[in-house]
């Protein structure tokens, strides 16, 4: 895979489990990395990357709010230059089912996931369009493909699929590509509270995955780096599941029907 020397990559949600690995993956391949997160720990993370010899800068923003996104992009451009690659990684869910979803919660999840993706892409396009080149990678979810709980989050991720395809259609003529990576379960610190309550949770979940494992953050980062690279130059408008086979079918039901253990 070719490197990203001379490229500036913006990663949103950069302080999280996937975000940190994503950022390190692009930095290790030569990119200058611009980190955005609403958690101020992103500043210390960027500083640690700088101490390791990587070219990194960070800005605090809640991407739900366009004015904060605008300020962050201006700040990061002044430090690292125009944006070449955007990884819309930030995401969250505030309610696991419709019964506990409120109107405010719905608007918050749509705002932070779907609207935030739009805000960031819009500002990245300001650099990409005149340059005649650029890549937008959005981190979606298998929740956007089928119903798996977290309804507001899932609706936002489904909307991101449509938005990714619209970006690919409208901006392809400017040499800009847009794709999505859709993970299933990923082992990140966000699961720590659930593991503490239910230590066997991952053992319960793996039965649904044909590969008999769940993904880790590096799996997601590797897929995003591939789609951002020149090796994927003819790929745009694609939704790539990185889910250990979850969306390929219902493996539990298949075992029941075939009466085979696989």
Q: Which of 38, 157, 163, 209 is catalytic?
A: 157
Chain centre to alpha carbon of residue 48: 22
Q: Which of 7, 38, 153, 209 is catalytic?
A: 153
Please spell the DSSP secondary structure of 181-224, one letter per residue. EEE-SB--GGGHHHHHH-TTHHHHHGGG-TTSS-B-HHHHHHHH
Q: Is 20 helix (H, G, I), strand (E, B) or coil?
A: helix
What whole-number distance in Å separates Cα of residue 137 and Cα of residue 163?
Answer: 11
Do residues 212 and 206 touch, judged by C-beta distance below 8 A?
Answer: yes
What whole-number distance in Å separates Cα of residue 44 and Cα of residue 40?
Answer: 8
Query: Exposed/middle/buried for 256, CB within 10 Å: 0-12, 13-18, 19+?
Result: exposed
Tokens at 128, concatenated? 């990409």
- Give the number of other Cβ atoms within 10 Å of residue 210's Cβ: 15
Closest to 107 (Cα-Cα) out of 161, 87, 116, 19: 116
Tokens at 231, concatenated? 């090796």
**Whether residue 29 lies in the annotated active site:** no
**Whether residue 118 lies in the annotated active site:** no
What whole-number distance in Å separates Cα of residue 97 and Cα of residue 102?
Answer: 10
Catalytic site residues?
153, 157
């Amino acid at each position: 895979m070719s490197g990203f020397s001379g490229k500036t990559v913006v990663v949103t949600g950069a302080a999280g489990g996937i975000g940190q690995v994503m950022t390190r993956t692009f930095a290790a391949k030569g990119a200058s990395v611009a980190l955005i997160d609403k958690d101020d720990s992103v500043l210390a993370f960027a500083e640690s990357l700088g101490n390791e010899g990587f070219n990194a800068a960070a800005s605090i923003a809640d991407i739900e709010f366009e004015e904060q996104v605008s300020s962050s992009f201006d700040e990061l451009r002044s430090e690292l230059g125009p944006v070449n690659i955007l990884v819309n990684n930030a995401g969250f869910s505030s309610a696991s089912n419709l019964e506990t979803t409120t109107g405010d919660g719905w608007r918050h999840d749509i705002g932070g996931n779907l609207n935030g993706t739009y805000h960031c892409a819009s500002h990245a396009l300001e650099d990409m369009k005149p340059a005649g080149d650029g890549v937008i990678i959005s981190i979606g979810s298998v929740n956007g493909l089928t119903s798996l709980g977290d309804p507001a989050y899932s609706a936002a991720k489904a909307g991101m699929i449509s938005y990714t395809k619209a970006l690919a259609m409208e901006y392809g003529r400017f040499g800009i590509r847009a794709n999505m990576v859709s993970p299933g379960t990923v082992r990140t610190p966000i699961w720590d509270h659930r593991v503490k309550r239910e230590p066997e949770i991952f053992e319960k979940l793996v039965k649904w995955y044909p590969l008999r494992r769940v993904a880790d953050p590096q799996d997601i980062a590797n897929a995003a780096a591939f789609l951002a690279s020149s090796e994927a130059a003819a790929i745009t408008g694609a939704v790539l599941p990185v889910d250990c086979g979850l969306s390929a079918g219902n493996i539990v039901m298949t075992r029941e029907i075939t009466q085979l253990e696989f």
